[in-house]
């Protein structure tokens, strides 16, 4: 075998190894039932990369697959039970907080900037899209802020449900306005 063939075989082997899924490519997830409906919690090796809400498990897993098309999805309740338990407790009693490590790498730099500010909005408080745009230093970017909220895959952990229209009314929410209303009501100070 000449040097050209050895290099070609080595490159072919490296390419195959690069395509083979590794633990870094895994997104492990589980679904559960909350007082408000179905919830899916997914974890990458970095942290929670998705908290999705919906009506059916099939809907949630399809949403997860669409958001992470280049990842290996692994359903494992045993590997995500602590995370799922924390999310379900948070839904039932938001004042307990949500102490989880998040993986927000799937967002653009602008989206991550919006999401970081959203994470500073305390439970029971709300903010308008315009105020959120001002807080990130881009007051003209109200529509882009709304789009960043819609792109959020980590419901509750990145609390985009706390964002309202400028007149204080509810607006669209990725998981439905009824979820948004219920979450705000649960978080409201008594």
Q: What is the CATH number of the domain that holds 67?
A: 3.30.160.70
pLDDT value, residue 168 = 81
Query: Is 92 within a domain?
Result: yes
Catalytic option among 49, 123, 149, 160: 160
Q: Could you tell me if 73 and 121 lie in one domain?
A: no
In terms of residue numbers, what domain contains 141?
109-187
Domain boundary, last residue among 65, 96, 127? 96
Query: Is 29 within a domain?
Result: yes
Model confidence, pTM: 0.83
**Which residue bears the tokens 């919690």?**
41
pLDDT tens digits for 36-83?
A: 899 999 999 999 999 999 999 999 999 999 999 989 999 999 999 999
Q: Could you tell me if 122 and 57 lie in one domain?
A: no
Q: Which helix (H) or strand (E) holds 29?
A: strand 26-33
pLDDT value, residue 42 = 98
Query: Is 13 within a domain?
Result: no
As a whole number of angstroms, the distance between CA 183 and CA 181 comes to 6
Domains: count for the chain: 2
Q: Could you tell me if 127 and 164 lie in one domain?
A: yes
49 is annotated as an active-site residue: no
Q: Could you tell me if 92 and 153 lie in one domain?
A: no
> What is the pLDDT averaged over residues 152-164?
94
């Amino acid at each position: 075998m000449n040097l050209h063939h050895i290099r070609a075989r080595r490159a072919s082997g490296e390419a195959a190894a690069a395509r083979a899924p590794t633990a870094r490519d895994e997104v492990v997830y589980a679904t559960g039932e909350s007082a408000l409906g179905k919830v899916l919690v997914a974890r990458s090796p970095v942290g929670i990369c998705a908290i999705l809400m919906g009506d059916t498990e099939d809907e949630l897993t399809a949403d997860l697959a669409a958001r992470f098309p280049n990842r290996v999805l692994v359903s494992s309740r045993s590997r995500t039970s602590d995370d799922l338990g924390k999310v379900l407790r948070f839904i039932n009693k938001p004042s307990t907080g949500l102490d989880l490590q998040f993986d927000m790498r799937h967002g653009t730099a602008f989206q991550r900037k919006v999401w970081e500010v959203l994470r500073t909005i305390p439970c029971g408080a709300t903010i308008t899209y315009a105020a959120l745009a001002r807080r990130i230093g881009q007051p003209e970017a109200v529509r882009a802020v709304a789009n960043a909220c819609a792109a959020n895959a980590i419901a509750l952990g990145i609390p985009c449900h706390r964002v309202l229209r400028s007149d204080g009314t509810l607006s669209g929410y990725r998981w439905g306005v009824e979820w948004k209303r219920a979450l705000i009501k649960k978080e409201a100070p008594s």
